[in-house]
Amino acid sequence: MTGIERFRLFLKEKGLKFTPERRKIVEEIISFHDHFDVETLYHRLKRKVSLATIYRTLPLLRESGLIREVLRCQGRAVFESVWGHPHHDHLICIVCGKVIEFEDERIEKLQEEVCRKFGFQPVEHRLGIKGYCKECQRKIK
């Protein structure tokens, strides 16, 4: 199943409509795997879809498991496409803003274990470690 099909199905199940605007948004999101904020997405869509519609569509994309919010950068929410990409977490440099992605299956497993322990059904999770990247540590010293 493609991401677009997935979204279409999700909308159908909820009795919502698959509009041209929503199609453009999903297509754009799936074609890139970088981090993006709303403004960036808006420009990538060449302003063919209004900001209001983007803001109204993002929650649906989250619910359907196509994107997730990874972090906040100066008040702005930053998302990433999740479809077809292995889950990973982030190291965020508080000096230069660089983001390093990493995967650790063991951490994932332990999280699942914790959820079971509390009878909690996880939907989305986010692990962000803020600190100084290698380069910025040097600069400071």
Partner DNA sequence: ATCAGTGCAAAGGATTTGCATTACA
Partner DNA sequence: TGTAATGCAAATCCTTTGCACTGAT
Span near its own copies by CB under 8 A; candidates 7-15, 28-36, 46-54, 115-123? 115-123
76 binds, among its own copies, DNA, none (CB under 5 to 8 A by kind): DNA
| Interactions with its own copies, residue window 67-106 (CB under 8 A) | 72, 91, 93-94, 100, 102, 104, 106
- Give the interface with DNA as residue ranges (CB under 7 A): 11, 15-22, 37-39, 48-53, 55-57, 75-77
- Write out the DSSP string of 2-47: -HHHHHHHHHHHTT----HHHHHHHHHHHH--SEEEHHHHHHHTTT
Please report whether residue 139 would count as binding its own copies according to CB under 8 A.
no
For residues 114 and 49, give the distance between their C-alpha atoms in angstroms, rounded to a whole number: 41
